[in-house]
C-alpha cells in the first residue's frame, strides 16, 4: 500500500492541457505539493502545464511507482496492459463508467481486474477521486483545485469514503467551515481490488493517523474488518450508508428480521470497538474528539466553565441525559474560585464566570477559574465555553492544554461567536489539540462517545476459535433426520435440548384424553399450541392457548384448537411456566459477516423495542457475557425490583452452544428461541424455530 | 406590551459617556437604528454622544414611553419612583444584583416590585439584556455593538431567553455563522413582572413573527402557558434548561418519580402543540424550518436531489429512521429525468445528478431535475443538496421556491462547501424563505418536526372544564375516612372502585383457612401480598407471591409471608388475573402545572423505558384518547400480534375519572395504578397507591 501513498514518480494517463478538465486538474493538483517526478501521458500533446508529456506509458524515461488513470472507461484495459508492460504495479483508476452504469460497465470492470491480476497490478478504484495527503499536500485526485484555495488544515484524522463527490465537498466543508484537520482522505470508489480493509490496515499502522473515519456503503470482507477493528488501538468511527435497504428475509424468522441490515452490522462493529456515527460532519467531529481525547476516565466527572448561566445549566442537562457526571467541586477549589469571584457569587459547578468579568476582565477570570478547577482531584473533564468576536480573543489554549495534560485532565470546548473570530479560534484549538464544537449537544455527545470508547485490544477475543469437538451424537442425529426446512417448535426444541439448552416440558397429544393425562403429569396450568408445517406465527393465527388452569378449560380449548387446525398439524401441550421476564436468543447468517449469535429482550417487547445485540459465531464465554451486558435493558437482568439476577453462566452457555452449532453447520440458516423465559434467574426455551438452508 | 416594543421616546437612566461601559453601549445601540427621542439621564454630564443629557428623569422635557435602567441595583428603587412621578409606565431594568445574588438582592427586588405596583409601572427584568428588534434595528440593550458589526439578518423568528449573556452571544452566532434571520430577541432575566407568558402572548399576535423560540429555565405560570400554546397558530419551539435538577418527591410514588421535572413538562407542552428542542442552535434551526415550512403533508413523501450518491443514500437512511417516506417517483417524472440524464443512469429517487453535470452543466441539470420532480403528484417534499464554492453558485433559489409554492410542495436544503460561498448561499436561502441546513441529520430532523407539527388550534381542548357534578358519595366517604397519608393497595383500590374503575377481586385474610376459602371463591392461581403501612415497594421487599396454583402452595406461601411480616401488616389474597401486557396510570401534582394525569406502559418496563405521558387535570375524553396514542409503545395497544386492541373507551374513562378526582380534591397528592393489567383489551387495576397531602 505504501506505493499508493508515497510514490517516487507518478504517471497521469489521460493528462490534459485543458483547464477545468479532470485530466488537467490532476496535473494542477500534483504540481501543488507533490515533489516527485510527474509524467503526463497524452498522445496529442508534447507539453502539459510546462511538463514534458509522453505519447504512451512506454515512453516514460524513468521508473514509475504509481499511475493515475483518467481516460474514458473503454480505454482503461489498454492503459492497464501498458502499465503492466512498463512495470507499474500500482494504479488508481479515477475514470467512471464501470459497474455503477450497469451490466456492460460491470463486464468492463471485470476485464480490467483480469488484466490487473495477470500483470500483478493492484488497483485503487475505479470510479473514485483517489487520495489526498493533507500534511504533505499530495493531491492524487481530479478534484477541483478550489478545494485548497482557502488553505488546508492538517490534522491527524484520516478518512475513507466510498462516495467520490462527497470526499471533495466534504474536504472543503470540513476545512473551511469546521476547521477539522485531516491527515489522509481516501476515496475508494467501486473497490474492485483495494477495499476498505486494505486501506484500514494501512491507516492502522500509519504514524500520521490518530483516528480513522469511514463512510461505507458495504463492507466486503465483514469478518476481516471485525478482526482488524478489534485489534486496532486507534479510534475507528464508521458511518454506514444504505441502512434502509429492506432486509432480505424479513418474515420467516424473528432473528432474521430483527437483524435487519443495520442492527446486526452496528452491533457487531460496536462489539469490535468501532464507534458508529449518524452523519458526515458528526462523524468527523466524533473522530476528532476521540483522536484528541482518547478515552475519558470512567466516571467522566465534568466541570463546566462558562460565560452564560443558561449554557451552564443546559450543559448539566445534556451531560446527565448522556449518563455523564456533573463534577462536585472540592472545597479547596471553591476557595480558589472565591478569590476571583464577586462576593455574592456561589463558587459551584457549573462555574459561571460572567459576573467576575467586570471585576477582573474576561481573560484573567478564565485564567484564574481554569487554574483552580484543573487541579481538582474530583474533576476528570473541563468543559470550557467560549464566546468570541466581541471582545479580544483568548489566546491561551496551548497553555490550558499543557496545564490539563500535566494534571491528566480532559479538555473539550464549546464556542460561539462571530465568523472570523470563530475560524481563528477553532484553528487555534486544532493546533492545541483540543476539540472545539459549535453546539453544546455535539460537544457532550463526543464526550459520551469518549467515555464509552474502549481501545478494543482490551476486549475479549472477538471471534472464538473453531469449536474443537463437534456436535453431540444426539444433535447430529436430529440434524441428519432433518424434518424439513422450517422445523416446528417441538422438533426445534429437541435440537436445543441436545445442545444442552433447558427447554420447557411438553408433549405432542392426539386426543383430549391424552392431553388430560399429560396435563396431570406436567401440572396445571398448561398451554396448548397448534403446530402447522411451516407456520411460525402461531400467536397471530390464534393457535396458542395460555393459562389453561383446569381440566374443564383444557378440554374445551382442545376442542377449539382442533377445529381451528382443520385436521392439519399437531397439538402440543406444555407446562405453563412462570416467568419474570422473557429474552430472545438465536442464530442468523449474514452475507457479509457470516454466522452470528443474537441476544436480546424477548416477548412482545422484542418487536416493540428491538433491543437486540449480535456477535460473530462461534463466540467465547467471555464474549457471550460481554454481549449480554450490551443490551439497553441490561438493568432488567441484574436483579431488578427484587428479582433474582440472570444466571449469567447459563445464559452464556446457551449463546456459546448456539455459536458452536452455527459455526460448525453451514446448513443452519437461522434459529429463534423466543421466548426464552427467565424465572428466578434461569432461562428456559419456551418456543423455538430452526430454519435450514440449501447448500 | 406594545410600549416596550414601540416606544415613541426612551429615557436611559444610567447613560454614560464612557466607551465600553454598559450605560454607554445602550446609547450607542439606540442611536444605531431607533428613530424616536432618546433621553440620556446622568447627573454628571450635560451631553452624552452629542445628545443632551438630563440630571434626572423629572427634567426630561417631553413625554417618555419607556425607561431603560442601568444604574447600580441599590439605586433602582429611586429610579422607579422617579419614573412613576414622570408618568413612565414601562421600565426595562437591565441592572444586575438582584435575586440572583442571594437574599439581600431578593429583598431589593421585592422592594422594586412594590414600588412598581404602587406607581402602576410594568417591569421588564431585572438582570436582563432587554430586547432587540432586528428588522427595525431597535437595540434596547447594553449588548456590545460588535453584535451587529457583520450586518444583521432580518427574519421572522422571535426568541425569548431567560439567560442574558446567551442572547447576545447567540445573536452574533446565529446571524454570522448560521444565517438564521431574527425578528425580535427578548431577554427577560429575573422576570419579576413581565414573564414568558406576557411576551409569548405579545409575539403570538405580532405580525412580524412567524415562529417563536424560547429558552426558559422555569415556566412561572404553567397552566397559562399551556393555554396560550394550545391556542397558538404559530410554531412554538421550547428549550427547557434545568431538566436535571432532582425531582422533589422521588421515592414515594412511581407517578411522581416518573414525572421528574422534565418528562412531565415536555409531555404537557407537547400535548399543547409545543415543539421541544434540545440545544440552542438546533432550536433556532427547528423554529426556522417550522416557520418556513409549517406542516408537511402527512406522508411527507420526500424526493432527494443530490450531487452525491453517498449523501443521497444517507438521506434515505435518515428519513426512514425518522419515520418519513422516501418518495416513489411517477413514471412521467422518470421520463422527464431521463431527458437530462446520461443513458445509463437510472432515474430514481434519490436523484443523483452528478453524472449529468458533465452533459448539461450543473445549473441546467439542477434546473431540469427540479422542474421534473416538483410536478410529481407522488412527491410532497423536495430535499435539495448543494455544494457551493467550487463552481459558480446556483442563484435560482427564489425561482425554485416559486415553482414549489405553485405546486404546493415543501422545500428544504442541505448545503456544504467553502465558507464565503456558504454564507452567501444561506442568505439567499433565507431571503427565499427556504430552510438551509449544514448537516443532513439536522435537515431531516427538522422535516420530521414539521411532519409532526400540528397547529394546535385543531387539537382537542387541552384543559377540561371543572367537573360539574362532584365525587360519588362512596368516594367522598372513603376520602373522609382517610386511612393515613399513604394508603395501602386495598384501601386505594376501594377508592378507585368508587370512581368506577375496574379493580382485581381480592380480600384481606387473617389465617390460612381464610386464605384457602377465599382462594376457592376467587379461583386458582392466586396471589398473596403482605401490606405494611407506608410501604409501597412490596415486590422488592419479597412481600408479593405470584402464581400460587394449588392449595398446598398457597398454605406454604401464607406461612412464609406471615413470617416475613413479623406480625406487622395485613395479608391480601387476589385472583391472579391473566394479562396480555401492563399499563400504568395515575395522578401527580406539579408545582408549575398543577394536578396532572399520567398514562404509560407499566410493570417493570415502566421503569426500564419510562414510556409515560401526561395531561393537565381535568381532561376531556378526547384529550384522554389523544394522550393514550402519544406513548412510544402505542403499537402495543392497537392489537399487537393477534391480541385484542385496548378498549380505548374504558381506558379513557379511567383517565378522565382520575382527572376529575385530582382537579376537585386538592388533598390528593398522587395516585399510582401500577400495574393496570390489560387482558383481552380490558384494563383492570391490580395494584394501586393513593397519597394525600396536608393542605
Which CATH number is B128's domain given? 3.40.50.720
Mean local confidence (pLDDT), A500-504: 95
Measured torsion, CA atoms of residues A371, A372, A377, A382, in degrees rounded to the nearest 10? -60
> In this predicted model, which residue has the larger pLDDT, B5 or B580?
B5
Task: Say yes or no: A204 and A300 in one domain.
Answer: no
Mean local confidence (pLDDT), A42-49: 95
**Contact (Cβ atoms closer than 8 angstroms) between residue A159 and residue A186:** yes
**pLDDT one-digit tens code per residue, A268-280:** 999 999 999 999 9
> In this predicted model, which residue has the larger pLDDT, A435 or A253?
A435
Mean local confidence (pLDDT), A302-320: 90
Say whether residue A168 is in contact with chain B using an 8 A CB cutoff. Answer: yes
CATH code assigned at A408: 3.40.50.261
pLDDT value of position B352: 87
Residue A192 has pLDDT above 90, yes or no: yes
Task: Give Cα separations from B661 to B470, B617, B619, B682 (angstroms).
Answer: 8, 9, 11, 22
> What's the domain count of chain B?
2
Before A126, cis peptide (omega within 30)?
yes
**Contact (Cβ atoms closer than 8 angstroms) between residue A565 and residue A543:** yes
Q: Answer whether residue A142 is part of any domain.
A: yes
Q: Which cell numbers hold the place of A105?
A: 460497465
Mean local confidence (pLDDT), A121-144: 94
Before B350, cis peptide (omega within 30)?
yes
pLDDT value of position B256: 43
Contact at CB, A318 and B344, closer than 8 angstroms: no
Task: Say yes or no: A195 and A301 in one domain.
Answer: no
Question: Where does a domain end: B452, B469, B502?
Answer: B452
Contact at CB, B166 and A326, closer than 8 angstroms: no
Indicate the range of A50-59, A375-384, B40-49, B563-572 predicted with least confidence.
B563-572
Tell me which H or E stretch contains B670.
strand B668-679
Q: For chain B, positions 515-534, list CB contacts with chain A under 8 A.
A: 523-525
For residue A216, the 8-state DSSP code is E
Q: Whole-model pTM?
A: 0.91
Query: Number of helices and strands (H, E) in chain B?
Result: 24, 29
Environment class of B210 (CB within 10 Å of its CB; exposed 0-12, middle 13-18, buried 19+) = buried
d(CA A526, CA B536): 32
d(CA B54, CA A332): 49
| Crossing angle of helices A164-173 and A280-293, rounded to 10° | 60
Place of cell 407506608: B534
Place of cell 435518515: B318
**pLDDT one-digit tens code per residue, B446-487:** 999 999 997 655 555 666 666 656 678 888 888 888 667 889
Tell me which H or E stretch contains B276.
strand B275-276
Nearest to B172 among A389, A537, A549 (CB): A389
Query: For residue B341, which of B360, B324, B321, B319 has the smallest C-alpha distance?
Result: B360
Other residues' Cβ atoms within 10 Å of the Cβ of residue B459: 16
Mean local confidence (pLDDT), A166-181: 76
Task: Say yes or no: A186 and A63 in one domain.
Answer: yes
Q: Answer whether residue B433 is part of any domain.
A: yes
Model confidence at A329, pLDDT cuts 50, 70, 90, reads very high
Environment class of A448 (CB within 10 Å of its CB; exposed 0-12, middle 13-18, buried 19+) = buried
Q: For chain B, positions 42-81, list CB contacts with chain A under 8 A.
A: none
d(CA B557, CA B577): 18
For residue B16, the 8-state DSSP code is -
CA angle centred on A609, ends B646 and B264, rounded to 5° = 70
Nearest to A549 among B242, B320, B524 (CB): B524
pLDDT value of position A577: 87
pLDDT value of position B255: 43
- pLDDT cut 70: percent of chain B above it: 92
d(CA A322, CA A447): 9
Contact at CB, B244 and A280, closer than 8 angstroms: no
Instruction: Write down the ipTM of this complex.
Output: 0.90
Nearest CA in chain A to B322: A244
Say whether residue B638 is in contact with chain A using an 8 A CB cutoff. Answer: no
Task: Say yes or no: A201 and A311 in one domain.
Answer: no
Which residues 6+ apart lie within 8 Å of B301 measured at CB?
B325, B326, B327, B328, B378, B379, B380, B381
Mean of per-residue pLDDT scores for chain B: 88
Nearest to B150 among A314, A418, A608 (CB): A418
d(CA A548, CA A543): 14
Say whether residue B308 is in contact with chain A using an 8 A CB cutoff. Answer: yes
Task: Say yes or no: B153 and B18 in one domain.
Answer: yes
Task: Say yes or no: B203 and B348 in one domain.
Answer: no
Residue A88 has pLDDT above 70, yes or no: yes
**pLDDT one-digit tens code per residue, A618-677:** 999 999 999 999 998 888 898 877 778 999 999 999 999 999 999 999 999 999 998 899
Nearest to B279 among A147, A439, A541 (CB): A439
Task: Say yes or no: B103 and B201 in one domain.
Answer: yes
**pLDDT one-digit tens code per residue, B211-221:** 999 998 888 89
Question: Where does a domain end: B187, B209, B231?
Answer: B209
Which residues 6+ apart lie within 8 Å of B302 measured at CB?
B315, B319, B324, B325, B326, B327, B379, B380, B381, B382, B383, B447
Q: Answer whether residue B125 is part of any domain.
A: yes
Mean local confidence (pLDDT), A194-222: 94
Q: Answer whether residue A346 is part of any domain.
A: yes
Enumerate the residues of chain A whose CB falls inside 8 A of the CB of residue B173: 416-418, 422, 438
d(CA B88, CA B95): 18
**pLDDT one-digit tens code per residue, A417-467:** 888 888 889 989 999 999 999 999 999 999 999 999 976 555 556 666 666
Task: Say yes or no: B184 and B303 in one domain.
Answer: no
Q: Answer whether residue A408 is part of any domain.
A: yes
Is the backbone of residue B141 left (phi > 0), alpha (psi -120 to 50) or beta? beta
Mutate to test the interface with A, among B317, B448, B602 (most CBs of A within 10 A): B317
Enumerate the residues of chain A whose CB falls inside 8 A of the CB of residue B603: none
**Contact (Cβ atoms closer than 8 angstroms) between residue A255 and residue A671:** yes
Buried (b) or exposed (e) across A349-362, using 16+ Cβ within 10 A?
A: bbbbbbbbbeebeb
pLDDT value of position B117: 96
* Parent domain of A41: 2-209
CA angle centred on A182, ends A180 and A186, rounded to 5° = 130
Looking at CA atoms only, how far is residue B100 from chain A in angstroms?
Answer: 8
Say whether residue B225 is in contact with chain A using an 8 A CB cutoff. Answer: no
Q: Which residues pair with B531 in a beta bridge?
A: B570
Nearest CA in chain B to A355: B96
Q: Answer whether residue B16 is part of any domain.
A: yes
Q: Answer whether residue B195 is part of any domain.
A: yes
Looking at CA atoms only, how far is residue B391 from chain A in angstroms?
Answer: 9
Indicate the range of A402-411, A635-644, B76-85 predicted with least confidence.
A635-644
**pLDDT one-digit tens code per residue, B561-612:** 999 888 888 899 999 888 888 999 999 998 889 999 999 988 766 667 788 9
d(CA B351, CA A23): 27
- pLDDT cut 90: percent of chain A above it: 61
Q: Which cell numbers hold the place of A147?
A: 478545494
Say whether residue B609 is in contact with chain A using an 8 A CB cutoff. Answer: yes
Q: For chain A, positions 318-357, list CB contacts with chain B under 8 A.
A: 318-321, 326, 344-345, 354-355
Task: Say yes or no: B205 and B302 in one domain.
Answer: no
Enumerate the residues of chain B whose CB falls inside 8 A of the CB of residue A543: none
Task: Say yes or no: B29 and B172 in one domain.
Answer: yes
Indicate the range of A249-258, B65-74, B109-118, B382-391 predicted with least confidence.
A249-258
Indicate the range of A685-694, B260-269, B615-624 predicted with least confidence.
B260-269
d(CA B178, CA B174): 5
d(CA B174, CA B165): 14
**pLDDT one-digit tens code per residue, A96-108:** 889 888 889 999 9
Nearest CA in chain A to B174: A417
**pLDDT one-digit tens code per residue, B269-318:** 999 999 999 999 999 999 999 999 988 888 899 999 998 888 988 899 89
Residue B69 has pLDDT above 80, yes or no: yes
Nearest CA in chain A to B608: A633
Which residues 6+ apart lie within 8 Å of A521 measured at CB?
none
For residue B259, the 8-state DSSP code is H
> In this predicted model, which residue has the larger pLDDT, B359 or B50?
B50
Q: For chain A, positions 285-304, list CB contacts with chain B under 8 A.
A: none
pLDDT value of position B29: 95
B682 phi and psi angles, rounded to 5 deg: -100, 125
Task: Say yes or no: A8 and A153 in one domain.
Answer: yes
pLDDT value of position B249: 31
Query: For residue B387, which of A501, A139, A165, A359 has the smallest C-alpha distance?
Result: A165
CA angle centred on A195, ends A191 and A200, rounded to 5° = 150
Measured torsion, CA atoms of residues B554, B559, B563, B568, in degrees rounded to the nearest 10? 70
Nearest CA in chain A to B151: A418
Nearest CA in chain A to B542: A642
Question: Where does a domain end: B209, B227, B257?
Answer: B209
Mutate to test the interface with A, among B107, B159, B279 (most CBs of A within 10 A): B279
Q: Answer whether residue B622 is part of any domain.
A: no
Q: How far apart are the first and last CA of chain B?
A: 37
Say whether residue A102 is in contact with chain B using an 8 A CB cutoff. Answer: yes
Q: Which cell numbers hold the place of A369?
A: 477559574
d(CA B288, CA B425): 16
> What is the DSSP track for B314-352?
HHHHHHHHTTPPBP---HHHHHHHHHHS-TTS---SSEE
Say whether residue B392 is in contact with chain A using an 8 A CB cutoff. Answer: no
Task: Say yes or no: A74 and A194 in one domain.
Answer: yes
Mean local confidence (pLDDT), A491-513: 94
Contact at CB, B172 and A105, closer than 8 angstroms: no
**Contact (Cβ atoms closer than 8 angstroms) between residue B491 and residue B336:** no
pLDDT value of position B58: 96
Nearest to A163 among B96, B239, B310 (CB): B310
Enumerate the residues of chain B whose CB falls inside 8 A of the CB of residue A326: 244
Amino acid at each position: 500500500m505504501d506505493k499508493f501513498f508515497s510514490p517516487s514518480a507518478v504517471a497521469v494517463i489521460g493528462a490534459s492541457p485543458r483547464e477545468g478538465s479532470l485530466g488537467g486538474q490532476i496535473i494542477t493538483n500534483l504540481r501543488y505539493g507533490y515533489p516527485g517526478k510527474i509524467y503526463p501521458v497524452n498522445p496529442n500533446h508534447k507539453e502539459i502545464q510546462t511538463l514534458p508529456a509522453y505519447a504512451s506509458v512506454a515512453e516514460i524515461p524513468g521508473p514509475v511507482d504509481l499511475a493515475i488513470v483518467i481516460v474514458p472507461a473503454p480505454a482503461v484495459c489498454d492503459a492497464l496492459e501498458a502499465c503492466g508492460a512498463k512495470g507499474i504495479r500500482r494504479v488508481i483508476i479515477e475514470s467512471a463508467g464501470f459497474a455503477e452504469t450497469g451490466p456492460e460497465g460491470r463486464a468492463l470492470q471485470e476485464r480490467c481486474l483480469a488484466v490487473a491480476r495477470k500483470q500483478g497490478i493492484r488497483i485503487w478504484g475505479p470510479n473514485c477521486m483517489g487520495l489526498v495527503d493533507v500534511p504533505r499536500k499530495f493531491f492524487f485526485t481530479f478534484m477541483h483545485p478550489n478545494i485548497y484555495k482557502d488553505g488546508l488544515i492538517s490534522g491527524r484524522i484520516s478518512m475513507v469514503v466510498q462516495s467520490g463527490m462527497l470526499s471533495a465537498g466534504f474536504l472543503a466543508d470540513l476545512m473551511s467551515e469546521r476547521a477539522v484537520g485531516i491527515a489522509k482522505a481516501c476515496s475508494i470508489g467501486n473497490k474492485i481490488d483495494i477495499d476498505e480493509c486494505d486501506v484500514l490496515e494501512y491507516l492502522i499502522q500509519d504514524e500520521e493517523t490518530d483516528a480513522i473515519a469511514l463512510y461505507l456503503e458495504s463492507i466486503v470482507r465483514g469478518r476481516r474488518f471485525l478482526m482488524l477493528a478489534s485489534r486496532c488501538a486507534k479510534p475507528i468511527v464508521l458511518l454506514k450508508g444504505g441502512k434502509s435497504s429492506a432486509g432480505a428475509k424479513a418474515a420467516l424468522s424473528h432473528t432474521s428480521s430483527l437483524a435487519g441490515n443495520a442492527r446486526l452490522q452496528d452491533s457487531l462493529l460496536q462489539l469490535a470497538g468501532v464507534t458508529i456515527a449518524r452523519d458526515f460532519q458528526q462523524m468527523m467531529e466524533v473522530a476528532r474528539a476521540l483522536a484528541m481525547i482518547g478515552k475519558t476516565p470512567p466516571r467522566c466527572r465534568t466541570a463546566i466553565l462558562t460565560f452564560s448561566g443558561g449554557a451552564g445549566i443546559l450543559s448539566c442537562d445534556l451531560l446527565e441525559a448522556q449518563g455523564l457526571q456533573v463534577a462536585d467541586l472540592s472545597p479547596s477549589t471553591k476557595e480558589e474560585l472565591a478569590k476571583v469571584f464577586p462576593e455574592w457569587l456561589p463558587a459551584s459547578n457549573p462555574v459561571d464566570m460572567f459576573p467576575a468579568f467586570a471585576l477582573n476582565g474576561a481573560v484573567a477570570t478564565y485564567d484564574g477559574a481554569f487554574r483552580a478547577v484543573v487541579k481538582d482531584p474530583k474533576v476528570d473533564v473541563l468543559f470550557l465555553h467560549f464566546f468570541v468576536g466581541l471582545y479580544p480573543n483568548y489566546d491561551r489554549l496551548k497553555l490550558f492544554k499543557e496545564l490539563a495534560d500535566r494534571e491528566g485532565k480532559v479538555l473539550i470546548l464549546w464556542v460561539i461567536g462571530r465568523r472570523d473570530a470563530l475560524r481563528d479560534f477553532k484553528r487555534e484549538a486544532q493546533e492545541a489539540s483540543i476539540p472545539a464544537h459549535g453546539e453544546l449537544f455535539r460537544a457532550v455527545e463526543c464526550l459520551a462517545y469518549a467515555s464509552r470508547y474502549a481501545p478494543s485490544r482490551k476486549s475479549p477475543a472477538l471471534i472464538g476459535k473453531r469449536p474443537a469437538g463437534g456436535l453431540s451424537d444426539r444433535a447430529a442425529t436430529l440434524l441428519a433426520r432433518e424434518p424439513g426446512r422450517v422445523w416446528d417448535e417441538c422438533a426445534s426444541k429437541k435440537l436445543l435440548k441436545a445442545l444442552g439448552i433447558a427447554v420447557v416440558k411438553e408433549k405432542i397429544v392426539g386426543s383430549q384424553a391424552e392431553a388430560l393425562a399429560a396435563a396431570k403429569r406436567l401440572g396445571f396450568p398448561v398451554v396448548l399450541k397448534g403446530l402447522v408445517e411451516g407456520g411460525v406465527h402461531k400467536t397471530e393465527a390464534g393457535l396458542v392457548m395460555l393459562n389453561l388452569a383446569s381440566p374443564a378449560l383444557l378440554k374445551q380449548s382442545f376442542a377449539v384448537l382442533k377445529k381451528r387446525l382443520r385436521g392439519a398439524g399437531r397439538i402440543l401441550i406444555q407446562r405453563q411456566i412462570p416467568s419474570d421476564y422473557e429474552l430472545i436468543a438465536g442464530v442468523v447468517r449474514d452475507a457479509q459477516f457470516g454466522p452470528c449469535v443474537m441476544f436480546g429482550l424477548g416477548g412482545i417487547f422484542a418487536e416493540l423495542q428491538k433491543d437486540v445485540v449480535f456477535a460473530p459465531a462461534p463466540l467465547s464465554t467471555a464474549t457471550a457475557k460481554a454481549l449480554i451486558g450490551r443490551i439497553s435493558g441490561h438493568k432488567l437482568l441484574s436483579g431488578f425490583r427484587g428479582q433474582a439476577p440472570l444466571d449469567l453462566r447459563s445464559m452464556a452457555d446457551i449463546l456459546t452452544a448456539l455459536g458452536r452449532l452455527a459455526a460448525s453447520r453451514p446448513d443452519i440458516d437461522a434459529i429463534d428461541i423466543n421466548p426464552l423465559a427467565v424465572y428466578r434467574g434461569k432461562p428456559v426455551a419456551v418456543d423455538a424455530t430452526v430454519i435450514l438452508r440449501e447448500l
